[in-house]
Amino acid sequence: MSYAIQPPPVAAPPATRRPVAVNMAAALLWTMAAAGLVYAIGMVAVTPGVVGRFRDAVAGSTVVDNFVTVIWLVAALSLVLGLLVVALFVVLGIALRRGSRLARGITLGVCGLGLLTGFGTLAVLAVQRAGEATPGTLSEALNQAYPNGWIVLNVAVAAAQVIAYLVVGVLVLTAPSAFFGGAAGYVTPVNSVSPEWGSPQTKPFVTGGSEHDQFSDVTASPKSTPNPEDEYWSRPHE
């Protein structure tokens, strides 16, 4: 009984070196996540003062409570969104460093969405800066309730957001596709010929009878024809 010989183990191909662009993109994503969280925490921190100054400016108004609710809701949503962005960007950065093709696609989609959001924020702030609120209105009181330079800070944050998303998108696009699984993997050769002694037997094993022995190529010698002398000596002596 024989067994098929197992092919020798093939050494795995060397690991691909992580591109510098991928490292920079991951680091920038983590920096953006930290900056966004700090901005959200800062918004929550200034909200009590904004609400207090706004109430003092519009004392006696019947809709002040509605505005206060909106202010707190915006601050809470900013904090929740900041936490979600931190979690998402941390995971994306780790996955990018590991060469995940899915993470690359998600990162490009996030960058596109971030660019649209950043340009939209800049447009809204530009309109807000261009127009002047009518004195004595709720809008003017709300603008005055925020700290000095708050709108300028928002403009700077939105501009930095646009630039950061643009840089991350360019870095991910210019990174080698082979690092994200674009190159063909190592294929074990299939045309190797195993030695004859290691090939499995396909014929039944013969233990007796007149059939030809498959394990022997020696032809059996024919029986010799008896001669008269052998016949004479084989009889009883008379």
pLDDT in tens, the chain (238 residues): 555 566 666 555 555 688 999 999 999 999 999 999 999 999 999 999 999 888 888 877 777 888 889 999 999 999 999 999 999 999 999 999 999 999 999 999 999 999 999 999 999 888 877 766 666 677 788 888 888 888 889 999 999 999 999 999 999 999 988 888 754 334 444 454 445 444 555 555 555 555 555 555 555 555 556 565 555 555 555 4
Taking Cα atoms as reference points, which of 46, 104, 113, 53 lies closest to residue 81? 113
Query: What is the predicted pLDDT for the residue at 107?
Result: 95
Query: What is the predicted pLDDT for the residue at 189?
Result: 46
Count the residues in the chain: 238
Burial of 42 (0-12, 13-18, 19+ CB in 10 A): middle
CA separation for the pair 54, 82 (Å, rounded): 25
Query: What is the predicted pLDDT for the residue at 7?
Result: 62
Taking Cα atoms as reference points, which of 125, 127, 128, 142 lies closest to residue 61? 142
CA separation for the pair 90, 96 (Å, rounded): 10
Other C-beta atoms closer than 10 Å to the C-beta of 126 total 12
